[in-house]
Structures are given as C-alpha cells and as structure tokens.
Amino acid sequence: MSLIRLVARPLLASTFALGAVNTLRNAPALEDKAKPVTDVVAPQLQKAVPQLPGDPVTLTRINAGVQLLGALALARGKAPRVSSAVLAASLIPTTIAGHPFWEESDKAAKQQQLLQFTKNASILGGLILAAVDTEGRPGVAWRAQHAGRSAARTARRETTHLRREAKLAAKAVKP
C-alpha cells in the first residue's frame, strides 16, 4: 500500500467513524430527521430483508453501525473498495435526511444546510474514487478483457497448428 493510501483512507474514514458514534449515542434524538427518509427506504429494504425493522431509530442505528464498520475497514485498508462502496451507499440517505436544504426557509440555515450537503457530496466523490481504486493493478474489467483476448489468440494458434497437423497426417495416410 502506498503512503498516500495509508494516510488518505483513515482521513476519509474518520468522518464516518465520528458521525456513527455520535448517531449511535443520539439515535432517538435523530428520529424526526430520519423519518422522512426511512418512510421511503424502509419498505424497499423490507422487500429484500423482511426481518428488518421499520422504525426510524433502529434503522438509524443500523446505518450508523454499517458506517462504523465500513469506516474501520477502510481506515485499516481491509477490503477498501467494498468498504468505500458501502460507505457511499450509506451516505446518500444520511445526507438526504441530515441536510435537507430545500426545506429551509431561513436564508442562513438554508446556506448552512447546503454547505453540509455539498461537503457530503464531495465526500461521496472521494468514496467513489476509493471504490474504484485498484492500487495500480489492473481492474476486473481489464483482466477479463485481457483473458478473452489471450484465449482468442491461443485458440487461433491452436487452430492453425491443428490444421497443419491434419494436412501432414493426410499426406502420410495417402498411398
């Protein structure tokens, strides 16, 4: 792992760790903010996982737990692409619930919420970059394409070789 990744991953993860701990401690106080989002998201989640509770406090705690685990994994460099993708997915509902600038009527409050929303959007961009970072190694798409080309090249070589062998065998059999 490069020095940049060694420093950048914990820095990117730190906001999630701190936010998740704060959310776990204060989940009931965040119920009113979370409810509009959980009312939309919970039915969709329950289709995939019927055992999942639908109340905003529990869903907020689950999201915080996911963020804390993702942050710890990213900070330690364990499955950084997966943990970045998980954090990115968990950031979207958090941002919508936590910073609804479009609902603010006070100009100063609206500006503050817009700033926080934009910061989260910037963090989302960083997480997306981290999720696709292959650390200089070829990605899965490149490896699959390269393997396909290599297999096609090998098949052409083998076909040419077998045709040559067949011609030689045919000449050897002819009287």
pLDDT in tens, 44-68: 888 888 888 888 999 999 999 999 9
Q: Are residues 97 and 158 in the same domain?
A: no
Q: Is 142 helix (H, G, I), strand (E, B) or coil?
A: helix
Q: Are residues 148 and 133 in the same domain?
A: no
Closest CA to 120 of 95, 83, 145: 95
Q: Are residues 108 and 173 in the same domain?
A: no
Mean pLDDT (the chain) is: 90
Give the structural domain span for 170. 138-175
Tally the domains of the chain. 2
Q: What is the mean pLDDT of residues 15-40?
A: 92
Q: Are residues 133 and 48 in the same domain?
A: yes
Q: Are residues 121 and 65 in the same domain?
A: yes
Identify the pLDDT of residue 1.
Answer: 65
Q: Are residues 103 and 59 in the same domain?
A: yes
Q: Are residues 155 and 73 in the same domain?
A: no
Q: Are residues 20 and 62 in the same domain?
A: yes
Q: Are residues 10 and 80 in the same domain?
A: yes
pLDDT at 137 over 90: no
45: left (phi over 0), alpha (psi -120 to 50) or beta: alpha
Q: Are residues 98 and 112 in the same domain?
A: yes
Identify the pLDDT of residue 72.
Answer: 97
pTM: 0.73
